[in-house]
Chain A
Amino acid sequence: MGEAVKATDNQLNTSAIREQFPVLEREVNGFPLAYFDNAATTQKPLSVINALTEYYSAYNANIHRGVHTLAEEATTAFEQTRAAVRRLVNAREAEEIIFTKGTSEGINLVAATYGKAFIGQGDEIIITGMEHHSNIVPWQMLAEEKGAVLKVIPINERGEISLDEFNSRLSGNTKMVAICLASNALGTVNPVKELITAAHDAGAVVLLDAAQALPHMEVDVQALDCDFLAASAHKMYGPTGVGILYGKRRLLEKMPPYQGGGEMIKEVTFARTTYNDIPFKFEAGTPNIADVIAFKPAIDFINTIGKENIARHEHALLQQATAGFQQIDSVQLVGTAKEKVSVLSFNITGMHPFDIGMMLDATGIAVRTGHHCTMPLMERFAIEGTVRASFAVYNTAEEVDRLIRSVERIAARVKK
């Protein structure tokens, strides 16, 4: 990899990029695979796949407490990923990056530790109407346990929230604002900078669910001044089973630990345990070493192409698909916010999303159908679900064209 995949005249060399993803050469039902389920999980480049093999073939060892060479090498590689994540989100220190299993675990961790210590009876937690179940249920569980109150910012027809709606729910009782930077079902990018400033003025902390944002846009935790941020490696060309949680040092230090076990302690006697420093305080047990190590080449992949180039390419695909769908009478777009990542949710009048998804699969087009783990959001739009196409850097205009034409064929059936 290198210059070959970089932009020339603002155009990505998509074929050079695609060559790095072996699965994209596959055929499905006799057609070349057009993979548009990237918001669920992206495909992995060879560099990631090779890093896994290399780790297990050359230096598999448990990390952090070994003096032998393999342990040293594994520890170094593991911590290099942490350093790469720090740079990716521009955290002040690598110690502010905790490895988790994914976005869900990151949010659960904050609810179970920060929430346990600092949210109590009558305190308020604000979320939005477009959250993934991962950013609803942990707060509901906490609210139930503590007698806290969950407040929801409603969204408009386009799938946007307004600052006014947020401000009218914000008060001195608000302790936590948990909100997605980008919505997985609609693609909406939320105006988090303004929300964070307002939340801080009211004395609340802010957690950003960046699962759908980090793969697509620049995210700078210092510029945003968010207190926590959670994301998943597998949605950004990395392996499954790895997530990141960023937290400000000042908060992480005063939070109680999440789970007990090895790694997270400084000293254990039967009378008393003292906890390790951050980030290890929150990383009990042997972590997912191989996948954390293989996450680094995924970050390198993104950096080599550049977030700006990725965003520009994906945005062009989103616009092409949106414009194509707008020409089809029976297609309704769900989520038409001004600011969007490359997620396109839609329905066809009189057809169930399952059927549309199956029809698309028949010609090798992979999309997701259903409620996308956002059941309250589906209820808001009075729909059972949607078909969701989500674009990544390796998708092409030809693939999007196939999608539009297939949807045209399916929609034509309904008209009859």
Chain B
Amino acid sequence: MSSIRQIQDEIISEFALLADDREATLFYLMELGDKMPPLAGEYKTEDNLIKGCQSKVWLHADYKEGKVFFAADSNTDITRGLISLLVRILSGQTPDAIIDADLDFIEKIGMGQIIGSQRSNGFASMIKQMKMYALGYKTKVAMK
């Protein structure tokens, strides 16, 4: 398993190739979304919906052998692409690594510029929720 840092660097260099071509960037994001494993229908529940997103985003988390696994989906393709990046970076990491993650790829690939302020807020909510899950698992383990 690569570290959060390594995966972020991969993503940064992939997006650097698309540089200033916004249309190509969006096409690439959608392609990434297509490749993300689908979220089972049973997890597309009201409870799993992230609040604060303009599109619908469902997030499901699992804890196995000290690691947190995320699965997610959205009703819009660009958002699915965006969340696939977060899943790629954070899924399979330890709670501590997730809690401490400094997701600087967002700024480095100019995400805010690409997706605008409304989607950026939704993206921030998504990250917060992922970190909350990690914190929850960490606390549970500590209390055992």
Contact = CB atoms under 8 A, between A and B. Distances in A.
A93 interface: no
Given A358-B26, A362-B26, A413-B30, A352 B75 contact: yes
B30 A355 contact: yes
Interface in A360-416: 362-363, 409, 413
B54 interface: yes
Nearest to B77: A355
A359 B76 contact: no
A30 to B, nearest CB: 7
A359 to B, nearest CB: 6
A359 B54 contact: no
A362 B23 contact: yes
The secondary-structure label for the interface of chain B is helix
Given A30-B20, A354-B55, A413 B78 contact: no
A323 interface: no
Interface residues of A, number: 12
Of the listed residues B23, B54, B55, B75, the one surrounded by the most CB atoms of chain A closer than 10 A to its CB is B23
Nearest to A354: B76
Interface in B69-120: 75-79, 115
A29 B27 contact: no
Contacts of A30: 20, 22
**Interface residues of chain A: helix, strand, loop or mixed (majority):** helix
A354 B78 contact: yes
Interface in B14-48: 20, 22-23, 25-27, 30
B22 A362 contact: yes
A137 interface: no
Interface string A14-37: 000000000000000110000000
Interface string A331-354: 000000000000000000001101
Contacts of B55: 352, 354
A363 B77 contact: no
Contacts of A363: 22-23
14 contacts: A29-B22, A352-B77, A354-B55, A355-B30, A355-B76, A355-B78, A358-B78, A359-B23, A359-B78, A362-B23, A362-B26, A363-B22, A409-B23, A413-B30
Task: Give the 5 A-B CB pairs with smallest separation, nearest first.
Answer: A362-B22, A352-B76, A362-B23, A355-B77, A355-B78
